[in-house]
């Protein structure tokens, strides 16, 4: 696991290249604190800040291939690299690490080599003879890869702040990102939260040659391709096999433990595989509305783990929000990444480099409420005047106040009724959620034509295979969640960027490549019959884990939201700073935010503010801090500079 950076430029001297690539890799040394290496050639420079996990002695990178044809580096793990070595009869004494495997496999397979890889990765390969650069990103987008293209140069890196170090410019935040985050909760396609900075999309590879850029998709989610179902899986065995594939490296592992079935199953199986207690980590909240301590304690006693719990206060969220924006490099719509940032810090302090997480289970196993909501809406749409059918929403959202209160529920019911019969809409599953865009966008100065909901939806649709339109609606919902919430937010702002801020690698067994091929052969009806969401996972661990865990309804991980900034001195200082900056931020609607802030300050009104107001405030505050931290990237203090090893190749 690493941070990688590089650039192609024909006009720089060796000394200029050295200065730029050094600044780039120093800006992301937190991703790889173990070793920093640089390779500089005539037109291309590459660097790696390494987090040594597998083949610690042999895995130095970047490398120049033995043929002197390629410079290679990568960030991530290739879980099946030993299998590939055996498959192609590579000599183990020569192919003794993942990076050497990539070199030899690319030599014989070219760009199609990526289809052989199972893992989480961002890969850079530069052909010295042809002056061609190739970049590859893993299937779900677990590892990040950003780039900027100019007339004279092409720059790429694991984080945007590294690209900033090359260009020595302050990047402008992207108004399109505000619109996309307001609607989809993440950036979509190749867009990022900064203008003229792009991300290589999951499951894609990029080719740069002679100033020309070509991007190809090498992977389609098997959900799109499989309709031949096997509905009797032993999912506990499937998951255990995935975990065994991902127990990879020489440094041990730990696991997050939220108290839900996803992480509980992982922690239980890891304990079983290791045949001894493991270290587990969880977040607890002083605010009991968000706390899952009881469930965490219950599963901890079952697996007898060495457990570390981190209690999060409102003050913790306020004091670390700017730091989290600095690492996420994205507009956030909620504060939930902050506790994850602090928890990964705890993992590092205990001495771990690797932590397993249950992220991805809700997307691939149909665990989210939105899937249940979709089923209820379809069922209700057959008899729109029914008084009984909409009451299923109260069963699904039993924990939300607007569904508990009879008077509020009548209003809420009408909100759900609005798009009830619009079954032909390609995005039917998300219409209720996305309707909130009509309110949230009013807090921002979004051009009505450029950032209309219809135009943004059309752009999202362009990323999907043509088969998407023909899928059953619940599969479409699944792919939307994977492409937006999972890849664009959970694996990035709340995932990689929070763990790697402290040099900790996250592992995602529910996103294992082989596991997802097997899941594609299981019907949605088996995964979630009626409102039994994530049924195959729950059924597989019935009688193994406590019933309270197996049957526990989905408790969405969240953290206290906007109100935390209004109940303490530090928070109010941030709010006042935000207000002062509104006049100079053309992307935010000053009057709307001033009015919203006054409501948050009023205890009689703030208690009635809901998801949309919280979301608008956090997005606006994110933009404020993105502008601030991006200006600071040019002044990162490298006084604690680590030793950098340089290699020159002319």
Average pLDDT value for the chain: 94
The residue with tokens 């029914």 is: 386
* CA 236 – CA 220 distance, rounded (Å): 25
Percentage of residues in the chain having pLDDT higher than 90: 86
pTM: 0.96
Residue 545 corresponds to which tokens in the numbers above?
A: 């884990």
Cα diameter, the chain = 76
Residue 641 has pLDDT above 70, yes or no: no
Q: What is the pLDDT of residues 60-99, one digit of tens each?
A: 899 999 999 999 999 999 999 999 999 999 987 789 899 9
| Residue 113 DSSP class | G
Residue 318: partners with Cβ closer than 8 Å, 6 or more residues away? 564, 565, 568, 570, 571, 574
Q: What is the pLDDT of residues 469-516, one digit of tens each?
A: 999 999 999 999 999 999 999 999 999 999 999 999 999 999 999 999
Residue 254 has pLDDT above 80, yes or no: yes
Predicted confidence at residue 640, as pLDDT, reads: 61
Contact call for residues 135 and 124 (beta carbons, < 8 A): yes
Q: What is the pLDDT of residues 570-593, one digit of tens each?
A: 999 999 999 999 999 999 999 999
Nearest Cα to 458, choosing from 136, 212, 184, 57?
A: 184
Residue 152 corresponds to which tokens in the numbers above?
A: 């004279």
Predicted confidence at residue 1, as pLDDT, reads: 65
Residue 365 has pLDDT above 80, yes or no: yes
Q: What is the pLDDT of residues 505-516, one digit of tens each?
A: 999 999 999 999
* CA 314 – CA 285 distance, rounded (Å): 9
Predicted confidence at residue 231, as pLDDT, reads: 72
> How many other CB atoms are there within 10 angstroms of residue 292's CB atom?
18
Q: What is the pLDDT of residues 532-574, one digit of tens each?
A: 999 999 999 999 999 999 998 888 899 999 999 999 999 999 9
Q: What is the pLDDT of residues 374-387, one digit of tens each?
A: 999 999 999 999 99
Predicted confidence at residue 647, as pLDDT, reads: 93
What are the CB-based long-range contacts (under 8 Å, 24+) for 415-422?
A: 416/377, 416/380, 416/390, 417/384, 417/390, 420/377, 420/380, 420/381, 420/384, 421/381, 421/384
Residue 639 has pLDDT above 60, yes or no: no
Predicted confidence at residue 556, as pLDDT, reads: 84
Predicted confidence at residue 22, as pLDDT, reads: 96
Predicted confidence at residue 559, as pLDDT, reads: 93
Pairing type for strands 306-312 and 254-256 reads: unpaired
Predicted confidence at residue 252, as pLDDT, reads: 93
Contact call for residues 168 and 244 (beta carbons, < 8 A): no
Predicted confidence at residue 578, as pLDDT, reads: 97
Which domains are delineated in the chain? 2-219 (3.60.20.10), 224-359+491-550 (3.40.50.620), 369-484 (no CATH), 562-634 (no CATH)
Q: What is the pLDDT of residues 95-118, one digit of tens each?
A: 989 999 999 999 999 999 999 999
Per-residue confidence at 282, pLDDT binned at 50, 70, 90? very high
Nearest Cα to 522, choosing from 268, 273, 202, 239?
A: 239
Residue that wins the pLDDT comparison between 49 and 248: 49
């Amino acid at each position: 696991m690493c941070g990688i950076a590089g650039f192609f430029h024909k006009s720089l001297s060796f000394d200029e290249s050295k200065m730029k690539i050094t600044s780039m890799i120093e800006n992301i040394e937190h991703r790889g604190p173990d070793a920093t290496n640089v390779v500089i050639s005539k037109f291309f420079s590459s660097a790696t800040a390494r987090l040594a996990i597998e083949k610690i002695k042999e895995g130095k990178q970047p490398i120049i291939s033995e043929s002197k044809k390629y410079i290679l580096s990568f960030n991530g793990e290739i879980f099946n690299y030993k299998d590939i070595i055996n498959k192609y009869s590579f000599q183990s004494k020569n192919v003794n690490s993942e990076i050497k495997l990539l070199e030899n496999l690319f030599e014989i397979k070219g760009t199609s080599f990526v289809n052989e890889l199972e893992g989480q990765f961002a890969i850079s390969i530069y052909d010295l003879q042809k002056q061609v650069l190739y970049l590859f990103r893993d299937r779900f987008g677990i590892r990040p890869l950003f780039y900027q293209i100019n007339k004279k140069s092409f720059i790429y890196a694991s984080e945007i702040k590294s690209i900033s170090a090359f260009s020595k410019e302050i990047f402008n935040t992207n108004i399109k990102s505000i619109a996309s985050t307001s609607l989809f909760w993440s950036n979509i396609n190749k867009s990022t939260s900064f203008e003229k900075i792009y991300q290589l999309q999951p499951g894609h590879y990029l080719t740069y040659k002679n100033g020309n850029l070509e991007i190809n998709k090498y992977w389609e989610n098997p959900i799109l391709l499989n309709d031949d179902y096997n509905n009797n899986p032993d999912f506990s065995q499937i998951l255990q096999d995935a975990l065994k594939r991902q127990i990879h490296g020489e440094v041990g592992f730990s696991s997050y433990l939220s108290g839900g079935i996803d992480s509980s199953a992982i922690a239980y199986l890891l304990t079983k595989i290791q045949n001894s207690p493991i270290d587990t980590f969880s977040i607890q909240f002083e605010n009991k509305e968000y706390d899952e301590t009881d469930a965490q304690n219950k599963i901890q006693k079952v697996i007898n783990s060495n457990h570390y719990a981190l209690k999060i206060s409102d003050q913790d969220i306020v004091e670390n929000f700017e730091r989290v924006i600095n690492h996420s490099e994205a507009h956030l719509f909620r504060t939930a990444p902050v506790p994850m940032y602090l928890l990964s810090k705890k993992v590092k302090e205990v001495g771990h480099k690797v932590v397993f997480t249950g992220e991805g289970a809700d997307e691939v196993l149909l665990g989210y409420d939105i899937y249940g909501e979709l089923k209820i809406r379809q069922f209700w749409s057959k008899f729109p005047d029914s008084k009984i059918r909409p009451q299923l929403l109260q069963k699904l959202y039993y924990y939300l106040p607007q569904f508990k209160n009879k008077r509020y529920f009548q209003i809420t019911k009408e909100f759900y009724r609005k798009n009830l019969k619009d079954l032909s809409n390609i995005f039917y599953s998300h219409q209720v959620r996305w309707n909130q865009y009509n309110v949230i966008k009013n807090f921002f100065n979004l051009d009505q034509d450029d950032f209309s909901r219809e135009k943004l939806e059309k752009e999202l649709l362009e990323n999907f295979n043509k088969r998407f339109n023909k899928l059953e609606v619940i599969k479409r919902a699944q792919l939307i969640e994977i492409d937006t919430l999972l890849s664009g937010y959970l694996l990035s702002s709340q995932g990689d960027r929070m763990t790697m801020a402290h040099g900790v690698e996250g592992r995602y067994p529910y996103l294992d490549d082989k596991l997802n091929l097997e899941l594609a052969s299981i019907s949605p009806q088996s995964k979630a019959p009626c409102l039994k969401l994530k049924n195959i996972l729950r059924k597989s661990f019935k009688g193994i884990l406590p019933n309270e865990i197996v049957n526990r309804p989905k408790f969405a991980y969240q953290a206290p939201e906007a109100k935390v900034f209004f109940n303490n001195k530090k928070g109010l200082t941030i709010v006042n700073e935000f207000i002062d900056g509104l006049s100079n931020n053309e992307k935010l609607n000053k009057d709307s935010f001033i009015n919203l802030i006054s409501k948050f300050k009023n205890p009689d009104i703030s208690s009635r503010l809901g998801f949309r107001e919280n979301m608008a405030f956090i997005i606006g505050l994110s933009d404020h801090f993105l502008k601030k931290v991006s200006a600071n990237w040019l002044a990162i203090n490298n006084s604690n500079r680590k030793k950098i090893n340089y290699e020159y190749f002319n």
